[in-house]
């Protein structure tokens, strides 16, 4: 067997020797920043907080909210088929969502840091029979440990952005040494397939994007009715999953339009709810009236800005709005998922930085189901134009819906691809 590339040996060796000490500092810092759940921080060190269920266990890992939601239908199907599920994620928001949305039989844990000691602890306790990672989660020590224990590993909904592809390509044989431990990569697109194969993944298939098959999020009708009553006939602009650097432009668009668009309400749903405080401060500096979901519950008639500082309610506000901007796209964060608003049926605006969903945005833009804005001027024109043009909004809704329908089927193809592994597990179980 060929030896590991030197860079990979250094990565594993350094984390083996100094990782636990460095992790202590890292986890304390993240806890102070509100990015770790202090009562469960041991899980990040591979120490379980739950018992392992008896029998066959499938481990499904997703990084954060978007990845978790994309793989949730797969988890539900596997649970219905009688498999035990361990779901791991890496963020507080995804953990809180998992607590609400996972099937009752499934177990959630925070994924351990990619430190050999923590990884071994994790595997010693959970002893998964199959590991399914999602999207671009590539962790050398987790992969190597799974391979050493003969645990088949699949990457579902796999993607490889141009930036990540460039980074991995510059590492020489490292990517090939890491990806050789993956039994199957199920890529979102042919472009992702080619990139993963070029980096050394031994078996790659294109299955499509699981996000197209995620149902529109459920919304309690009584809460929706209360919001509709509070908003009444006001034009509503939604800025969803925003990142730092986007909110001020959104509020400046509102300030420019409020005097010529009677009753305009702008709803901001930050990607990370803990950022609500800085949004409130920015709104105050612009002289805008602002309230929050946690504090006031519903927008007041005089509110300019309503900040949603809760988790898992985007579906509610997509249904309430007339136009939506999808964030992470005016700043270089790669863009957030536009499929959910497309399914719900709302005209979509986005910035130019959409590498995380490049092909999805391209399909929506080409079909005129979404519109790219680049600066304050184009942003203001687009929001104003769409809020005043019901016919164009209806056309964009239809176009987006057609794109979603045309690209569905990834869940079925993913299940078909992993069926041999599931059959083997079923045979073992019986």
Q: What domains are there in the chain, each with its CATH number?
A: 51-208+409-429 (3.40.50.11720), 221-406 (3.40.50.2000)
Catalytic residue list: 67
Query: d(Cα 331, Cα 353) in Å, to the nearest integer?
Result: 7
- Kindly list the distances between the CA atom of residue 83 and the CA atoms of 37, 46, 60, 420, 428, in Å, as whole numbers in the listed order: 28, 22, 12, 14, 12
pLDDT tens-digit series, residues 63-104: 998 899 999 999 999 999 999 999 999 999 899 999 999 999
Under-50 pLDDT residues of the chain: 1
- Provide the 10 A C-beta neighbour count for residue 171: 15
Neighbouring residues of 24: CB distance < 8 A, sequence distance ≥ 6:
none
pLDDT tens-digit series, residues 167-195: 999 988 999 999 998 999 999 999 999 99
| No. of helices (H) and no. of strands (E), the chain | 18, 14
Q: Where does 293-423 show beta strands of DSSP type E? A: 305-307, 323-326, 348-350, 370-372
pLDDT number for residue 172: 80
| Lookup: tokens for 94 | 């995804």
pLDDT number for residue 1: 45
Q: Spell 191-203 as b/e; 16+ CB within 10 A means b.
A: bbbebbbebbbee
pLDDT number for residue 240: 97
Query: What are the phi and psi torsion angles at 169 (to 5°)?
Result: -60, -35
């Amino acid at each position: 067997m060929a030896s590991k590339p030197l860079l990979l040996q250094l990565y594993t060796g350094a984390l083996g020797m100094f990782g636990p000490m460095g992790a202590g500092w890292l986890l304390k810092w993240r806890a102070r920043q509100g990015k770790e759940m202090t009562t469960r921080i041991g899980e990040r060190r591979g120490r379980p907080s739950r018992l392992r269920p008896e029998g066959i266990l499938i481990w499904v890992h997703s990084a954060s909210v978007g990845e978790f939601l994309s793989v949730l239908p797969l988890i539900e199907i596997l649970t219905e088929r009688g498999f035990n599920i361990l779901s791991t994620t890496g963020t507080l928001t995804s953990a809180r969502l998992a607590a609400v949305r996972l099937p009752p039989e499934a177990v959630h844990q925070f994924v351990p840091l990619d430190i050999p000691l923590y990884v071994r602890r994790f595997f010693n306790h959970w002893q998964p029979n199959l590991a399914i990672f999602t999207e671009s989660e590539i962790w050398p020590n987790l992969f190597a440990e799974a391979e050493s224990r003969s645990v088949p590993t699949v990457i579902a909904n796999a993607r490889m952005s141009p930036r990540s592809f460039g980074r991995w390509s510059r590492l020489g044989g490292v990517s090939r040494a890491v990806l050789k431990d993956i039994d199957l990569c199920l890529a979102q697109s042919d472009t992702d397939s080619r990139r993963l194969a070029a980096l050394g993944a031994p078996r790659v298939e294109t299955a499509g994007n699981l996000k197209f098959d995620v149902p529109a999020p459920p919304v309690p009708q009584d809460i929706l009715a209360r919001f509709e009553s509070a908003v009444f006939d006001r034009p509503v602009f939604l800025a969803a999953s925003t990142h730092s650097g986007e909110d001020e432009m959104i509020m400046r668009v509102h300030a420019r339009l409020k005097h010529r668009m009677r009753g305009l309400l702008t709803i901001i749903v930050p990607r990370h709810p803990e950022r609500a405080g800085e949004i409130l401060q920015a709104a105050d500096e612009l002289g805008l009236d602002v309230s929050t979901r946690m504090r006031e519950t519903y927008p007041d008639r005089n509110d300019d800005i309503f900040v949603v500082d809760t988790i898992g309610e985007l579906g509610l506000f997509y249904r309430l709005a007339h136009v939506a901007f999808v964030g992470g796209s005016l700043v270089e964060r790669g863009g957030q998922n536009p499929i959910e608003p497309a399914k719900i049926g709302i005209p979509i605006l986005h910035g130019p930085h959409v590498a995380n969903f490049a092909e999805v945005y391209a399909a929506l833009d080409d079909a005129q189901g979404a519109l790219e804005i680049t600066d304050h001027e184009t942003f203001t024109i687009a929001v104003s134009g769409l809020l005043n043009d019901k016919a164009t909004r209806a056309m964009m809704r239809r176009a987006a819906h057609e794109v979603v329908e045309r690209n569905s089927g990834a869940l079925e193809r993913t299940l078909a691809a992993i069926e041999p592994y599931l059959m083997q597990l079923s045979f073992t179980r019986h």
